[in-house]
Structure 1
């Protein structure tokens, strides 16, 4: 009985950080080279010269170094007069993969210059057998970290070596 109470007390103590309003996690296991070329493939492309945008639709896949982002729709906004990508806005269900980790959300906004991706709406981050959910995650590709906010929930897989009760 004492062992069960000890385990219950330990789980209760851990539930604060696990269900916290915000948490910082490692993302990608390595930093991303944000100066690497960006490759985009899609079923369709519409270019708007007047506002400096390109709209990719249908099976959009964006690659930069080891990172991959996939979504049904991505709007690419170019820096005025420079022909460089300023930012990308992905929507319709986004998947981001970097190293061993993957994240999903309703929407993602990627600022190329700052190396920051803001994922919003039903965010799910998987790191091996562990999973974290929240409403918003800000990924910093320069230092390989992510900040999750909005009712963060974590599921930690203790593996088959965990004691059975």
Structure 2
């Protein structure tokens, strides 16, 4: 029975991710985790899901070959690390807005800092704007994207080079009225 309680606590720990990043209704939706296997460690407050892992809650969808959740002593989420080939993330931030989509070899969610970090072959798309590189981080509260080398990474090495950002033009809400030719 203790394992079932731990699984429930670790599963519910995913809730803060959807609450911070998504539609308000997401946090009230049930969490569904699909995987080939799960390993729960009460002493270390971790759960590891492996084998085509899919986590969904409302508009939130995370996929990867392996997902590791760690919680604090109160059962609150510390980190969620999704690894895959690639790991993916998708969630709708606001009604009538397109979903934020991300993919990378590793996706880390740090609850204490409210950041998502995409590592190796990172790609983030938000409202048609794209950010690509070896390392992309997104500060959820400040809504700041940082793309480039990780601060802890070496400056040299494969893949530590350039980033690519594509920003869509803003649409104009009011256009100048078209001038009609005068009729004689």
TM-score between both structures, scaled by the size of structure 2: 0.57
Partner of 1:71: 64
Shift of 1:47: 0.5
Shift of 1:145: 3.1
Q: Is residue 61–residue 90 contact of structure 2 (8 Å, CA) maintained in 1?
A: yes
SS in 1 for 2:106: strand
Gaps of 5+ in 1: 1-30, 159-165
Instruction: Please report the RMSD computed on the Cα atoms of aligned residues, expressed in angstroms.
Output: 2.9
Partner of 1:91: 83
- The within-5 A match list for 1:20-39 is 32=21, 36=27, 39=31
Shift of 1:61: 2.6
Partner of 2:143: 144
Higher strand share goes to which structure? 1
Alpha-carbon spacing, 1:40–1:87, altered in 2? closer, same or farther (3 Å): farther
Distance 2:110 2:58 in 1: 16
Distance 2:71 2:32 in 1: 14
Identify which of structures 1 and 2 has the higher relative contact order when contacts are C-alpha pairs closer than 8 Å and 6+ apart: 1
SS in 2 for 1:70: strand
Number of equivalent positions:
127
TM-score between both structures, scaled by the size of structure 1: 0.63
Distance 1:65 1:73 in 2: 21
Q: Is residue 32–residue 65 contact of structure 1 (8 Å, CA) maintained in 2?
A: no
